[in-house]
Amino acid sequence: MKKTLSIFFLLSICLNSIAQLPEYGLHIQSYPLQNSEFTSMALEDGKPIDTKGEKVTLNFNLWIRPDNVFGTVFRIITNDNKNIDLMYSVGENDRRFPILVTGDAVHPIQKEARRETWVSVSLTFDPKDGNITVLYDSTQINVNYPALIGAQEIRIAFGYCPFEDFVLDDVASVNLKDISLKRGNQEIRLWKMARHNGDICYDETSHKPASGKNTQWIIDQYITWKKIYSQHFATSPSIAFDPTVATFYIANDNKRLYVFHADEKVTDSIRVKGGEFVANYPNQLIYIPQRHQLLSYNLNENLYSAFDSNAQSWKGTQAPVAEHDYWNNTLVYNPSNSSLISFGGYGHYHYNNRLLISYPYENTPQRYINLTNIHPRYSSSSALVDSTLYIFGGRGCPSGRQELSPRNYYDLYSVNLLTQQVNKLWEAPQNPDDGDFQPGENMIYDSEKDCFYFFCTQLGGILMKIDTKTPHFEPMSLPMGLKFPGQYLYSNLYYSPKQKKLYLAVHQAEVSGKADIDIYELNFPPIPVSSFKQSEVSEAQTAGSNKLYVWLCIIGGLLAIGIGTLYYRKKRTILSRNEESKSQKTNVTDKAPNTLQRQEKPEIKIDMPINMSVPTFHNYDFSRKCICFFGGFRVIDKEGNDITFSFTPTLKYLLILLILYTGKDSKGIIGNKLIQLLWYDKTEESAKNNRNVYMSKLRSLLDKVGDIKILNQNGFWSIQFENGTICDYLEALHLYNKNNSQDLEKLLELLLRGMMLPNIETDWIDTFKNDFSNDTIDLLCRLLKQEDLSDTLKLQIADTLFQHDYINEEALCIKCRILCQQGKKGLAKTVYDAFCKEYAASLGTTYKYSLMEIIDEQNKN
């Protein structure tokens, strides 16, 4: 009785495991790859399968990819070299449909191929009479093939046929799963094409192999890092990550900040206008979600500089000068006291075991203690859990001296930050399987499973799992096989709760400073590699498992009714989630908008007379119901809430495009042009689907702003603001076109808000920005010559001019003269020096006038 219950328990575990299996199957690689890269899969290792003179039925599920719906799905070869093939062919109007081929005879199956959905296929042949029955996606055909009569053995291959003298060049792009073979009424093989061992998948009944070449397993997507970003830099940058919106920040100087939106695979850049980026070498940049702030730091000199997104500048003023002493340290932010906690690192031929605590938001000195229980080291990995810091591994030596035989450590410590108590939790007794490694610079804590994940260099890069109890490393991803030729390697692991993904940044730098940044993603929580791997089993074990399988099948039949409902519901839930995931992937563009041709310059007239009083600047209310371009892209809803961050990069580009083209021509933008700019890399059907989905999302967001309509008239898309809603850019164009001196005050109020879309740099947007800037510069330069304007207003105009043209000489002369007249000569000198520096950098020549010369010239005028 106890044995029977244990078998029931075992069966329930097996069925539950199958029910929870994620999406799986074999991805057949085909055209446009070379034939040598095509996927082949030979059942039973390509060996003959005995028919025993009985009917043989081949069943499987098929997913047709749109890449190449043409060529072979499978080929069956009999012992006397007769063939049965399932293929796809081309009909009228490029319609694709399946065909059965027997010898040289073609038998069409009157069912158009349904793409991107699982369909069932069954082929049964009888060696007694040569009859073949094919059931394809509920459509059946019957064929008689006399050459099959008496067939004793068959060989079966999917994809590219590896059998000598039976190769076919064309292979259909399909996915396969649940391949089964029946002899008579008995199922003798079942290859699920899920768990596998390299290129081999063992069947579930007799552990017979299906052997492949160039295999790509769908299930491996759950344990495979996917590269989403790659960039080369002339000087080595620092990297930070905002987990709330899955955004990376990359900075290496005071001139530009690169912003990569991992969710939409879009890169923006921000031109930095000033301040000091204090990191003296990577990686000394961190994003602090609690403060919504990007912070660069310098541990050697206790310097900190936050980035001001509104001013587009770093707040720090002191440039770093000291050499770096914390190479490959590990650092976390402690929100309980707003401190940075660093451990270890390397510098000046020494490793350290220093726990350094810094306070970037207080005027408090750094403090540190040497954790003497931990050998000096660098390249450790750490994570903060409440008030406990966990530190794993690294490379170093007891003395801390580089020349005295450094080694890798595989140990885990906990440090109580309140008491500074250090506990050694465990140390691996020997070097890890598959070779030595060094971990990345931080770990991710999984509270539900009470474990840590970290990236390490083993096998060219792999995700590992550890816990606090046992010295055990569990692979959670397939090896990446990366080469690490760089002199300096930094790797950081991040987690985005919103995206439910792990992100990995790999930074390889040379001694010269040149560096490559690569970013990868992996679904969270990760799945152990072992759960997808099939083990090889001996023949004796196979025989034993066959007996157990028979018993399990008998018991399984008795249990089927009882557990069928539960299994069906679980399966439906999983399939629903998969379909939702695929829909989201289909409906999200993966690339930033790009331009295919230059846009025509909008006609803006500025022939209005210059005659005005000092403006009072209260014509507009931008505290609610508005979309702003000047001074930065912003959207404020009808309640006065800033909802800018609700706009993903694609939604933002779509809204900007509609506004720009509506401003250029009230008809807006033709539908084909819109697709060309935003979804140029999609098929026509996919692009239209993306457009419709994003238009719906945009309408929903604009409803929160107020009465803003998106119109589609005669194929043209446009946007319309009504009932108190406003866009500052469209309002400015309206005022330009009115050509009315009475409205100049309003126009100037808008222009002084700042430059148009300063943080967005895309070719088709830049065209509009450049044209608007040129006309704005002309107008503002004319205004500076107006005598009846106050000095305060002229300073505002000069500052606005500098935003459009940072080496505008008229703005320089006016600003320096007014500042000197106000007694602010030092400030005038600062403005002048900054101008000369930008002038020389841009034009490659020294500015020819001195400060006194431009002031004197202005006074003469």
> Can you tell me the distance from the alpha carbon of 831 to that of 814, in angstroms, rounded to the nearest whole number?
11
Can you tell me whether residue 271 is helix, strand or coil?
A: strand
Would the pLDDT of 607 be above 70?
Answer: no
Instruction: Considering only residues 430 and 650, tell me which one the structure prediction assigns the higher pLDDT.
Output: 650
Tell me which residue of 464, 31, 466, 478 sits closest to 226, measured CA to CA: 478
Tell me which residue of 753, 769, 774, 798 sits closest to 632, measured CA to CA: 753
Q: What is the pLDDT of residue 332?
A: 97
DSSP state of 827: H
- CATH architecture of the domain formed by 25-216: Sandwich (2.60)
Q: What is the pLDDT of residue 48?
A: 95
Is 395 in contact with 378 (CB distance < 8 Å)? yes
Can you tell me whether residue 693 is helix, strand or coil?
A: helix
Would the pLDDT of 858 be above 70?
Answer: no
> Can you tell me the distance from the alpha carbon of 777 to that of 72, in angstroms, rounded to the nearest whole number?
64
Measured in degrees and rounded to the nearest 5, phi and psi for residue 299 equal -70, -30
Confidence grade of residue 54 (pLDDT, cut at 50, 70, 90): very high
Would the pLDDT of 606 be above 50?
Answer: no
Q: Burial of 447 by CB count in 10 Å (0-12 exposed, 13-18 middle, 19+ buried)? A: exposed
Would the pLDDT of 626 be above 90?
Answer: yes
For residue 367, what are its two tokens? Answer: 């403090």
Would the pLDDT of 512 be above 50?
Answer: yes
Would the pLDDT of 590 be above 80?
Answer: no
Say which range, 35-39, 244-248, 682-686, has the weakest mean pLDDT.
Answer: 682-686
> Can you tell me the distance from the alpha carbon of 444 to that of 634, in angstroms, rounded to the nearest whole number?
34
Q: What is the pLDDT of residue 742?
A: 66
Measured in degrees and rounded to the nearest 5, phi and psi for residue 536 equal -75, 140
> Can you tell me the distance from the alpha carbon of 173 to that of 820, in angstroms, rounded to the nearest whole number?
74
Alpha carbon distances (Å) from 671 to 570, 589, 716:
42, 17, 6
Q: What is the pLDDT of residue 614?
A: 39
Q: In the beta sheet, which residues pair with residue 205?
A: none
Would the pLDDT of 681 be above 80?
Answer: no
How does the average pLDDT of the chain come out, rounded? 85
Q: How many CB atoms lie within 10 A of CB 485?
A: 9
Q: Give mean pLDDT, residues 466-474.
A: 94
Is 310 in contact with 265 (CB distance < 8 Å)? no
Note the helical H segments in 395-538.
Answer: none
Percent of the chain whose pLDDT exceeds 90 = 58
Q: In the beta sheet, which residues pair with residue 115?
A: 64
> Can you tell me the distance from the alpha carbon of 655 to that of 664, in angstroms, rounded to the nearest whole number?
14
What amino acid is encoded at 424 in this protein? K
Q: What is the pLDDT of residue 557?
A: 43
Tell me which residue of 432, 443, 436 sits closest to 407, measured CA to CA: 436
Region(s) of the chain under CATH 2.130.10.10: 223-526
Is 488 in contact with 508 (CB distance < 8 Å)? yes
Sign of the dihedral defined by the CA atoms of residues 19, 21, 26, 32, in that order: positive
Q: How many CB atoms lie within 10 A of CB 647?
A: 20
Q: Reduced to 3 DSSP states, what percent helix, strand and coil does the chain have, rounded to the nearest 5?
A: 30, 30, 40
Measured in degrees and rounded to the nearest 5, phi and psi for residue 819 equal -65, -40
Q: Give mean pLDDT, residues 34-38.
A: 93
Is 522 in contact with 298 (CB distance < 8 Å)? no
Instruction: Considering only residues 774 and 392, tell me which one the structure prediction assigns the higher pLDDT.
Output: 392
Region(s) of the chain under CATH 2.60.120.200: 25-216
> Can you tell me the distance from the alpha carbon of 383 to that of 372, in angstroms, rounded to the nearest whole number?
20
Would the pLDDT of 42 be above 90?
Answer: yes
Confidence grade of residue 26 (pLDDT, cut at 50, 70, 90): very high
Note the pLDDT tens digit of each residue in 67-126: 999 999 999 999 999 999 999 999 888 899 999 999 999 999 999 999 999 999 999 999
Is residue 146 reached through a cis peptide bond, with omega within 30 degrees of 0 on the bond before it? no
Confidence grade of residue 6 (pLDDT, cut at 50, 70, 90): very low
Q: Give mean pLDDT, residues 729-736.
A: 91
Tell me which residue of 681, 682, 667, 680 sits closest to 715, measured CA to CA: 667
Q: What is the pLDDT of residue 10?
A: 40
The reply to whether CATH 2.130.10.10 applies to domain 223-526 is: yes
Q: What is the pLDDT of residue 861?
A: 56
Note the pLDDT tens digit of each residue in 553-569: 444 443 443 444 344 34
Confidence grade of residue 537 (pLDDT, cut at 50, 70, 90): low
Q: Give mean pLDDT, residues 252-276.
A: 91
- β-strand pairing of 303-308 with 313-314: antiparallel
Q: What is the pLDDT of residue 745?
A: 76
Note the pLDDT tens digit of each residue in 741-751: 667 778 888 88
For residue 853, what are its two tokens? Answer: 């010369």
Tell me which residue of 481, 482, 489 sits closest to 515, measured CA to CA: 489
> Can you tell me the distance from the alpha carbon of 404 to that of 377, in angstroms, rounded to the nearest whole number?
12
DSSP state of 376: -
Q: What is the pLDDT of residue 293?
A: 95
Q: Give mean pLDDT, residues 651-679.
A: 92
For residue 650, what are its two tokens? Answer: 């694609």
Q: What is the pLDDT of residue 485?
A: 67
What amino acid is encoded at 130 in this protein? G
Say which range, 54-63, 283-292, 304-313, 605-614, has the weakest mean pLDDT.
Answer: 605-614
Q: In the beta sheet, which residues pair with residue 708?
A: 721
Would the pLDDT of 430 be above 60?
Answer: yes
Note the pLDDT tens digit of each residue in 177-222: 999 999 999 999 999 999 999 899 999 999 999 999 999 999 998 8
Among left, alpha and beta (phi > 0; psi -120 to 50; other), residue 688 is alpha
Would the pLDDT of 543 be above 70?
Answer: no
Would the pLDDT of 785 be above 90?
Answer: no
* Cα Rg, the chain, nearest whole Å: 34
